[in-house]
Amino acid sequence: MGTLSVNQNKLQKRLRRQAGEAIADFNMIEDGDKVMVCLSGGKDSYTMLDVLLYLQKVAPIKFDLVAVNMDQKQPGFPEHVLPAYLGSIGVEYHIVEKDTYSVVKEKIPEGKTTCSLCSRLRRGTLYTFADEIGATKMALGHHRDDILETFFLNMFHGGTLKAMPPKLRADDGRNVVIRPLAYCSEADIEAYAKLKEFPIIPCNLCGSQENLQRKVVKEMLQEWERKTPGRTEIMFRALQNVVPSQLADRNLFDFKSLKIDDSATPRFLDVMNL
């Protein structure tokens, strides 16, 4: 890649700055950490690795990076692409082979959504491998749009107000998951992936899956952003500014104990004595 244009340079700096801010805000990476960077071969994980390699050079702390890809034995999966790329940039890596493809095809009826089971199987395998290699953090490539989409999916279909947090400890306490791209937009990541000419590997396990609810939510958010530019950023900021007393979760706020404060200053003044 040659010299960057002004806009390209701004794009690169913006992604690096936003990732650095997210890492600092949530204390994602600490001195001495071994970070397992989970690579799918998609634009998000390539961008995450690229940004983390830069931050590793300039950060005031020392941490190690090891790239890990899970070969799920999908027919036609180009096994050579990631090893060739990672070898060319000198990054330590592992390829974990696990035939989850056959399990998904066996368990999920034709035409049904496969993403949920596929992701659970992949996540479990990667959690175990992170433990085996002594990784203290697992980095996933989810970005701001992914987090918002998950929020609306949970609200519309699960009846819960939750998303994907930038930092998460696994239920068994053995793994800490981080999402360094939590502040980054998908549009910026897509533009950066094209700029860097990453060797993208498409996910062809499930085909296009046109009826995925995530796709519906994504289109809804994109339409909102087209009509009101900046709305996506505002909605994401809302996830960081939760006011429990203005919601209705009785476990989060003690509504039952609310009563008049007899010691509060009276609202009305005695105008006759002014």
Q: Which amino acid is at 142?
A: H
**CB-neighbour burial class of residue 242 (10 A; exposed 0-12, middle 13-18, buried 19+):** exposed
Q: Which residues face 39 on adjacent strands? A: 69
With H, G, I as helix, E, B as strand and everything else as coil, classify residue 75. coil
In angstroms, the CA 10 to CA 189 distance is: 13
Residue 204, number of CB atoms within 10 A of its CB: 11
206 is in an annotated binding site: yes
Query: Rg of the Cα trace of the chain?
Result: 23
Listed residue (163, 159, 167) closest to 148, CA to CA = 163
Candidates 89, 17, 88, 18; CA nearest to 50 is 89
Per-residue exposure over 19-36, b if at least 16 CB sit within 10 Å of its own CB, e if not: bbebbeebebbeeebebb
The answer on whether 38 is annotated among ligand-binding residues is no
Rounded Cα distance, 158 and 256, in Å: 26
**CA distances (Å), origin 170, targets 53, 174, 175, 176:** 25, 6, 5, 6
- What 3-state class would DSSP assign to 192? helix
> Binding site for [4Fe-4S] cluster: residue ranges?
115, 118, 206
> Binding site: residue ranges?
115, 118, 206
